[in-house]
Amino acid sequence: VKRSGLSSFVWLYLNYVEEELLTNASFRFMYIIKNPETREEMSKKLKLLDQMLNGLDVYAKPYMNYLLECAEKYL
């Protein structure tokens, strides 16, 4: 897919969103490590964090492809 015009903006925006999500996740991770209620609770939160990060690939990539296709159509 050619990345020009609006599609370049879409790529930059999605990269920014992904970076913000990862930064937010890393801050949550540090908070969990410093303030664990119990080991079991920490384990649950870490599993959830892992699912969220894996979910980025599953949900973001098809959406990104869709946005790029739309951008190419209207340029």
Q: Do the domain assignments include residue 55?
A: yes
pLDDT tens sequence across 1-19: 445 555 676 777 777 777 7
pLDDT tens sequence across 42-67: 677 777 767 766 666 666 667 767 77
Q: Could you tell me the pTM of the whole model?
A: 0.34
Number of H helices, E strands in the chain: 2, 0
Question: Using CA atoms in the order 69, 72, 73, 75, what is the torsion angle rounded to 10 degrees?
Answer: 160
Q: What is the pLDDT of residue 1?
A: 45
**Rounded average pLDDT over 33-48:** 70
Q: Do the domain assignments include residue 46?
A: yes
Report the number of distinct structural domains present in the chain.
Answer: 1
Q: What is the pLDDT of residue 14?
A: 74
- Position with higher pLDDT, 74 vs 5: 74
Q: Do the domain assignments include residue 35?
A: yes
Q: Do the domain assignments include residue 27?
A: yes
Q: Do the domain assignments include residue 1?
A: no
Residue type, 32: I
Domain carrying residue 43:
6-74
